[in-house]
Amino acid sequence: MNDVEKVMEQGYAEARIRVRYAETDQMGVVYHANYLVWFEVGRVEFIRQLGMDYKNMEQEDGAMIAVAEVTARYKAPARYDDELIVRTSLAGVRGSIVRFRYVVVRAANALDDEVVLCEGETVHFVVGRDMKRREMPAAYAERFASVVHRMVKAD
């Protein structure tokens, strides 16, 4: 099964991250803003696993996805050297607005099951180089629509 089929079947993409020492605070806990960076890692990987390329969307289509809103709910701390999995899904698309959902978990190991550390969402507007709203490039709109359609059918 290729990445696109896997994302379509699961409804999400996964990105693995190892917590670096520099991402922790004096208490040895991951600083909260790092989750936003990991959301971006998950979002870019989600787009990649759907067979698209965010870099090409910027360079060839002149379209970028600007963050308009972020929510994060912290449930448990991540610590240095934890292996994390960022699960990213498409929460919705409407015109030039796209919403992504994230679940960050500590990966299961020989001693413990997975633990949900953080859940969040980001809302984005598609903009041009001039930072004005524009249409989403057709290839991305079509692929996102197929993901949303598949999710609705699964429910």
CA-to-CA dists, residue 81 to 5, 62, 105, 109, 118, angstroms: 31, 38, 13, 13, 17
Task: Looking at 18-131, list the stretches that DSSP marks H as alpha helix, in order from N- to C-terminal side.
Answer: 34-49, 54-61
For residue range 9-30, what is the model confidence (pLDDT) as tens digits?
888 999 999 999 999 998 889 9
In this predicted model, what pLDDT tens digit does every residue of 36-48 receive, in sequence order? 999 999 999 999 9
pLDDT: which is higher, 144 or 69? 69
Q: How far is CA 13 from CA 44, 59, 100, 154, in A?
A: 10, 24, 11, 16
Are 99 and 121 in contact, with CB atoms under 8 Å apart?
yes
Model pLDDT for residues 83-114, shown as the tens digit of each residue: 999 999 999 999 999 999 999 999 988 778 99
Rounded to whole angstroms, how far apart are CA atoms 38 and 57? 20
Average pLDDT over residues 128-139: 93
Q: Which domains does the chain have, with CATH numbers?
A: 3-154 (3.10.129.10)
Asked if pLDDT for residue 155 goes beyond 60, the answer is: no
pTM score, whole prediction:
0.91
> Is position 25 annotated as part of the catalytic site?
yes
Region of poorest pLDDT, from 71-75, 101-105, 150-154:
150-154
CA dihedral 25, 27, 32, 34 (to 10 degrees): 40
pLDDT of residue 78: 97
- The catalytic position among 25, 82, 112, 130 is 25
